[in-house]
Amino acid sequence: MEMDLELRVSHDLPPDWLEAAAIALAEVCAWVPHPEAIKFVYTDSPRAFAEYAALSVAPSSSGAADQAEYQLDRADGAMAVALTVPLGSRRAVIVFKAGLLGDVNLARRVARHEVRHVLLNRREEAAWGIHRQLQAYVPRVPFEYVWIAETAIDEYRCELAVEQRDVASDPSLSNPGFNRTDVAGIEALFLAIRTSFRQSANASAAYHAVVSATERLMVTFAYLAARINARSPDVDALDDIEGLVDLAHLLRGIPNADEEASVTALARCIETVASLAFALLRRHGFEIQDRPQGKYLEVL
């Protein structure tokens, strides 16, 4: 059975890019169950990311405003290289930035990572939104940190599967496409947000920027933590990044996305990772608080 491929691009792609798409697709098709339920879209349009994100059926919605707000943040596809959108009953669409196809090995790696999200969703094991399934779960930190922790855990599990299963057997897949320089870039964002807040006093803009920067930081850490825990060759140079080794340690008991994890273990992990996100954000000079009037961003 075959997977579906769509190109949504404003210019014709070079032949070697088309070939890269075919290779990434064929490789995934060869091992993932029910490939016919997955569609790959390569696009150069940020709007396409947002449109597909809006089709998502996960996690099961309680209609709560916090979730709606948070999904809006996530719908900003400007930074995304790829996005997996669950459509229900095993189906999913994976939207990729077309530019990825300029590097065939990176395109192959990202395809394998994204397909792991499909597997997590099919097993209803994605950490993202898990607190909604746990009746008694009351996080000790505002929900933003919980959503971010859940996102980081899913990214970690998908990336760990790529490192442990794919890279181990095929070293040409070893380049994840970013490194410690990206961490420095994200950390610099916090300073920029602070400066801009001092000038504009726009608390709402600062809040959204801080949540988005924290998510990017934690997701980047999750990718790097997967390399640390998979003992990838080049990870020694990462151990001086503040908070990263802590995250790798917290995630050590969580299996990669090819293996089942217990909801209890995931919930416990969400709590500790959320607390780490809280601590890291404080170290960068911000704190999000729930107050009776609503969200409050404290600039420390």
Nearer to Zn ion by Cβ, of 24 and 158: the residue is 158
- Closer CB to Zn ion, 112 or 284, in the complex: 112
Q: Kindly tell me which of 150 and 155 has the beta carbon lying closer to Zn ion.
A: 155
Q: Which is nearer to Zn ion, 48 or 288 (CB)?
A: 48
Query: Residue 72 CB, nearest distance to Zn ion (Å)?
Result: 19
Q: Which is nearer to Zn ion, 106 or 158 (CB)?
A: 158
Dihedral, CA atoms, 145, 247, 119, 176, nearest 10 degrees? 110
Q: Binding string to Zn ion for residues 158 to 187, with x set by CB under 5 A, is what?
A: x-----------------------------
Enumerate the β-bridge partners of residue 99.
none
Non-local (6+) Cβ contacts of 114 within 8 A are: 82, 83, 84, 94, 96, 158
Binding flag, residue 155, Zn ion (CB under 5 A) = yes
Q: Which of residues 20-79 bind Zn ion (CB under 5 A)?
A: none
CB of 219 to Zn ion, least distance (A): 8
Which one of the spans 51-59, 153-161, 262-270, 271-279 is the region binding Zn ion (CB under 5 A)?
Answer: 153-161
Q: Considering CB under 5 A, how many residues would be counted as binding Zn ion?
A: 2
**Cα 203 from Cα 211, distance rounded (Å):** 12
Minimum CB–partner distance for residue 9 and Zn ion (Å) = 22
Footprint of Zn ion on this chain (CB under 5 A)? Answer: 155, 158
